[in-house]
Every structure is written in structure tokens, then in C-alpha cells.
């Protein structure tokens, strides 16, 4: 079991080591999502949480972690951490960027209330050329490849006031597991 945990942690560290510099990573990540076809979301949403890099890895037991920022009406209001634990068939590691849009003040308030969780049923739209469909944030995901700017986005469907998008940055992970994402918030 210790070997599995060490391997998962090493995979996460490697994906974090390959991230871009901290200075512009949030604006660069926002631009990457805008170029992927969801620029109107940044203008129409009440707020959003932006994660430049989330590292995910596992062998049977897995985990993910990422640091982000929360914006209300485009104004930076605080920091957020995402953590995830999964169990099931999984092997490998992957790094991805994620943005969560909040449709209204209620959904943003729910997210920043302290400790918020997405259950295994939460959906994230994957913005890559080969995977323009939905994939679970917690399980039953499949890897895909393609350019960051090749996605085609249709009508945005908020679920309980939130819409989530992700872009795979690199790595490979085979997964059929169950888990959810947990978020914490600290005011700026």
C-alpha cells in the first residue's frame, strides 16, 4: 500500500514540475480556455474558479490536487484548493486545467461557503479534439489527445448553477474509479 501511495505522489509531483511559471499562469490559463471556445462564459457567468494545473495519479488508489483562484464578476476574491481521492481500476498520471463557472450569486456563495464537494455524478466537459463529450470529474474517464484550440462547444448547460470545463495538459491515465472533488476556499 505504501508503494502505491508513493507512486501516486511521485506522479503528482512530476505533473506539478511541468507547469508554467506562477506569474502569468492564471491569465494564460484563462486565455487557453477562451481560445478553446468558451470566451463568452467568462463574460456571462457571475463568477468562476480557475485551476491552471491539477495533477492526478493513481494505481488502484488515486488522488488529485490543484490550487486555483476564485473570481466574482472578474474580480479576484480568494484562493481555492481542490483535492480528490479515488478508488477502483486506475493506472497512470495526468495533468489538466479546469474552470468552474458560477451562474449566479447563490452558486458562487455555495462554492465559497467553506468546504464544497462535487459528487461522482458531477460532469466536466472535456475540451480536446478527440473528446468533446462529457466525462465524470470523479470516475469513468478516458484519456484523449488533441490541440487545446480544437474543441467545439454547444449550448452551456449549468447543473445546479455550475458548469465545469477541463483541458488535458499531458500524461496518460486509464481509469474506471469512483470519487469526488472537494474544494476549500480562503478569502483574498
pLDDT score at 1: 53
User: pLDDT grade, residue 50 (50/70/90)?
Assistant: very high
pTM for the predicted model, two decimal places: 0.73
% the chain with pLDDT above 90 = 46
User: pLDDT grade, residue 32 (50/70/90)?
Assistant: very high
pLDDT score at 42: 95
The sign of the dihedral angle between the CA atoms of 62, 117, 130, 14 is negative
User: pLDDT grade, residue 123 (50/70/90)?
Assistant: low
For residue 7, give the C-alpha cell: 507512486
pLDDT at 23 over 60: no
pLDDT at 12 over 60: no
The sign of the dihedral angle between the CA atoms of 124, 158, 116, 54 is positive
pLDDT score at 115: 72
Contact 47, 94 (CB under 8 A): no
The residue with greater pLDDT, 68 or 89, is 68
Each residue of 99-122: pLDDT tens digit? 999 999 999 999 999 778 876 556
For residue 16, give the C-alpha cell: 506539478
Mean residue pLDDT across the chain? 77
* Least confident segment among 11-15, 131-135, 149-153: 131-135
pLDDT at 36 over 60: yes
User: pLDDT grade, residue 153 (50/70/90)?
Assistant: very low
Each residue of 160-182: pLDDT tens digit? 899 999 999 888 887 777 778 89
Amino acid at each position: 500500500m505504501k508503494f502505491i501511495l508513493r507512486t501516486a505522489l511521485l506522479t503528482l509531483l512530476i505533473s506539478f514540475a511541468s507547469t508554467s511559471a506562477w506569474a502569468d499562469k492564471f491569465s494564460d490559463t484563462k486565455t487557453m480556455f477562451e481560445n478553446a471556445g468558451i470566451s463568452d462564459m467568462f463574460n456571462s457567468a457571475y463568477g468562476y474558479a480557475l485551476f491552471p494545473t491539477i495533477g492526478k495519479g493513481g494505481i488502484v488508489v488515486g488522488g488529485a490536487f490543484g490550487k486555483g483562484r476564485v473570481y466574482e464578476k472578474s474580480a479576484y476574491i480568494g484562493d481555492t484548493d481542490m483535492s480528490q481521492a479515488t478508488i477502483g481500476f486506475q493506472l497512470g498520471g495526468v495533468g489538466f486545467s479546469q474552470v468552474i463557472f458560477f451562474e449566479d450569486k447563490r452558486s458562487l456563495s455555495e462554492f465559497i461557503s467553506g468546504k464544497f464537494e462535487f459528487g461522482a455524478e458531477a460532469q466536466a466537459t472535456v475540451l480536446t479534439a478527440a473528446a468533446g463529450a462529457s466525462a465524470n470529474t470523479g470516475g469513468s474517464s478516458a484519456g484523449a489527445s488533441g490541440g487545446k484550440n480544437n474543441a467545439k462547444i454547444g449550448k452551456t448547460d449549468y447543473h445546479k448553477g455550475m458548469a465545469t470545463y477541463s483541458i488535458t495538459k499531458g500524461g496518460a491515465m486509464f481509469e474506471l474509479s469512483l470519487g469526488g472533488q472537494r474544494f476549500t476556499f480562503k478569502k483574498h
